[in-house]
Structure 1
Amino acid sequence: MSRPQDAKRPFFPFGNPFRMLSPKGTKISQQLLLVLHAFEAKLEERLKKLIPKSKDEIVSLSWMTLAMHALCESHNDIKALITDLELPVCDWDEKWIDVYLDISVKLLDLCVAFSSELSRLNQGHLLLQCALHNLRSSSSEQYVRACSSLDRWKQHIGSRNPRIEKCGSILDDLLGSLDIPKVKKSAKGKVLMQAMYGVKVQTVFVCSVFAAAFSGSSKSTSVPEVADIYSWASTFNELRNLVNEEIRVRFSRGGFTVLNELEAVNSSVKELYPIIQGVADTIETESLVKIVGELGRATEKLSQGLDLLTKEVDSFFQVVMTGRDALLSNLRPGDTVIDSIVGVNRDAQVVN
């Protein structure tokens, strides 16, 4: 099975969604249209839930957790749709299979990168806990140790993650072009094509927001506006424009981070420094207790948010992996070399 190395690959192997809306070709039955409309209605409902009531909710760990959970649901719905359409994987064109496997590896790469960054951010929790422990003492020596822990925390959080640095190029590949070689006329294939297009848009959008938040750069791939021929286009475009604009504004301010919970911790740290750096005997106990309490609450909220988001990213990894494994299992009886199609050992680490 050949894989041209130089061709620009689309995110999903089912062709240009605009082509399927042409009156030419196979006519889609009313029953299939109802299936498609039900799928797109659920997709739109998920997108609506991601539209924040306030700009302060944007790029928070809680919003990112909700976004990743919605992504898991949409990918699970695609699996269910394939079953409902009775479109067995073994009947797919070889090029579809080739591209699907290639894309699934890229999605797994993103999951591994996001998980590694969440783990790195969580590692700073111990430094914050050490600082809080020392700040509960009235000893000037303990304050010096607290400053040291906070300095190390800022240095740790401010460092770069090589895996996150690679996300931009992966997202560029995923966005790509939607055009692929023509596939055989199939009403079921057209329904699946349009459904997959919606999930593709949602996937690249969510992952691009994650990459921007974790990398500290707004250069990550941004999904273009969706044409209004789709029932969910208006909702998606509203969400896209709101989130992208807020991220752009935050980056323009040159803040420590665009992540709400992380910025809250940093704000408390900045407020503590003038109090505990070399002026121990002028500290007002009541003021110090208040700020230390704020830092403690912000630290706990950050830790809890990171833990919840980590679980959702892990869930998405499993959704992608099980979908990939299901494809391989369906093909294995008739193709013993399918595992080598994309040059990746399924049991090996996805990201080096």
Structure 2
Amino acid sequence: MSRAQGANRSFFPFGNPFRMISPKGTKPSSQLLSVLHAFEATLEERLKKLIPNSKDEILSLSWMTLAMQALCESHNDIKTLMTELELPVHDWDEKWIDLYLDISVKLLDICNAFSSELSRLSQGHLFLQCVLHNLGSSTSEQYVRACSSLDGWKQHIGSGNPRIEKCGSILNDLLGSLDLPKVKKSTKGKVLMQAMYGVKVLSVFVCSVFAVAFSGTTKNMSALDVSEIYSWAPTFKRLQDLVNEEIRVRFSSERFTVLNELESVDSSVKELYPIIQVVVDPVEMQSFTKIVAELGRSTEKLSQGLDLLTKEVDNFFQVVLTGRDALLSNLRSVATDIHRNSRCNGDGQIVN
């Protein structure tokens, strides 16, 4: 997505499209502005909740779960906003519909990629369970089996995921979709597009962070330059700067992974592996027992974190899918009404 790994990307490949609700056209009513401001205030509160108290919380599975929850809630808010605006589908500009459908299918694709990676990481838990089971015995044969399981875990976790590797092109497409479509006549349409823009920014940011965490490279890291005309822009900038800086620090330290829980497991594995390659000396048993216990705790924490994040990614998939299905259903309903009307004669009688 970037020309060089970790480089900032231009947010506007086709120039700055930003226009606040245009002063040249019909201005929104105070009621419409109130609805928009409430939407953006809620969005800003969600951004604030993603700003961690400590940098150590960044790229933890718990933080990623909160980020995915924020996406689910914000996309649900868009559906609620459509209801509040009382903007029926037949009043939607065709380009708005195309934009919504295009973004939704890309989000579904990227959700599938994330689910695939979470499933792959969860499968690694089986290797760790075998390790812990075999270390419950002090026989040399069990240690050999434990070593084999550790080798299997390292090989499994270190293998790539082709679906994650494809996230870069999807994110590039999502980045291009941030360009706001022009809205000339509909004040409600302007409100909807501005609200959708905020949710699109959050979506690109969160998905980019996930792609970085899962791919082990900063090439998918985004640097979105949001105009200060948006009330939530300063909060977003603070969040993005904090997260991106921590990502750069972690990659510069050449860590095994940038994911906290996975790094914790790997740390215990590195301590344990050389010990169980030989028969454990009784003098070392105390530290050995401590390391095994720590591996057990970090393994359980990783497993629980992956389960919770998987659930939220699945929830987001359903939110996007139901929104897309609802729009398509409404479009079919409108098409049916048009077809019925076209079969009527001038007196309103149905032509058989």
1:309 maps to 309
Quote the Cα distance in structure 1 between the aligned partners of 2:22 and 2:335.
35
Quote the Cα distance in structure 1 between the aligned partners of 2:88 and 2:333.
14
Cα contact 1:201–1:223 (8 A) shared by 2: no
2:47 maps to 47
Quote the Cα distance in structure 2 between the aligned partners of 1:53 and 1:40.
23
**Compared CA separation, residues 178 and 117, structure 1 to 2 (3 A):** closer
**Compared CA separation, residues 50 and 179, structure 1 to 2 (3 A):** closer
Quote the Cα distance in structure 1 between the aligned partners of 2:106 and 2:115.
14
Are positions 1:238 and 2:238 aligned together?
yes
Alignment of 1:213-252 (within 5 A): 213-252=213-252
Quote the Cα distance in structure 1 between the aligned partners of 2:159 and 2:39.
42
CA displacement at 1:278 relative to structure 2? 2.1
Amino acid at match of 1:296: G
Are positions 1:187 and 2:178 aligned together?
no
- Structure 1 gaps, min length 5: 1-10, 337-352
* Residues 107-142 of structure 1, C-alpha deviations (whole Å, 9 max, x = no match): 000000000000000001111000001112111111
Quote the Cα distance in structure 2 between the aligned partners of 1:316 and 1:49.
18
TM-score (norm 1): 0.88
Quote the Cα distance in structure 1 between the aligned partners of 2:143 and 2:23.
73
**Compared CA separation, residues 181 and 316, structure 1 to 2 (3 A):** closer
CA displacement at 1:224 relative to structure 2? 1.4
- Structure 2 gaps, min length 5: 1-10, 337-352
Cα contact 1:39–1:195 (8 A) shared by 2: yes
Amino acid at match of 1:161: N
Cα contact 2:131–2:150 (8 A) shared by 1: yes
Cα contact 1:71–1:316 (8 A) shared by 2: yes
Quote the Cα distance in structure 1 between the aligned partners of 2:34 and 2:166.
40
1:81 maps to 81
Amino acid at match of 1:311: K
Amino acid at match of 2:227: A
Amino acid at match of 1:204: V
1:210 maps to 210
Amino acid at match of 1:295: L
Quote the Cα distance in structure 2 between the aligned partners of 1:46 and 1:99.
24
TM-score (norm 2): 0.88
**Compared CA separation, residues 179 and 240, structure 1 to 2 (3 A):** closer
Cα contact 1:47–1:239 (8 A) shared by 2: yes
**Compared CA separation, residues 180 and 73, structure 1 to 2 (3 A):** closer
SS of corresponding position for 1:245: helix
Cα contact 1:17–1:193 (8 A) shared by 2: no
RMSD: 1.8
Are positions 1:265 and 2:265 aligned together?
yes
Quote the Cα distance in structure 1 between the aligned partners of 2:235 and 2:252.
26
Alignment of 1:145-224 (within 5 A): 145-176=145-176, 178-179=178-179, 182-224=182-224
CA displacement at 1:181 relative to structure 2? 5.9
SS of corresponding position for 1:19: coil
Are positions 1:134 and 2:126 aligned together?
no
Quote the Cα distance in structure 2 between the aligned partners of 1:19 and 1:234.
18
2:277 maps to 277
Quote the Cα distance in structure 2 between the aligned partners of 1:155 and 1:189.
52
2:117 maps to 117
| Count of residues paired in the alignment | 323
Moved more, 195-204 or 84-93: 84-93
SS of corresponding position for 1:280: coil
Amino acid at match of 2:41: A
CA displacement at 1:97 relative to structure 2? 1.5
CA displacement at 1:178 relative to structure 2? 4.0
CA displacement at 1:199 relative to structure 2? 0.5
Are positions 1:299 and 2:304 aligned together?
no
**Compared CA separation, residues 283 and 326, structure 1 to 2 (3 A):** farther
Quote the Cα distance in structure 1 between the aligned partners of 2:296 and 2:154.
16
1:346 maps to none
* Residues 161-205 of structure 1, C-alpha deviations (whole Å, 9 max, x = no match): 010000011001101154466444111111111111110110000
Larger radius of gyration: 2
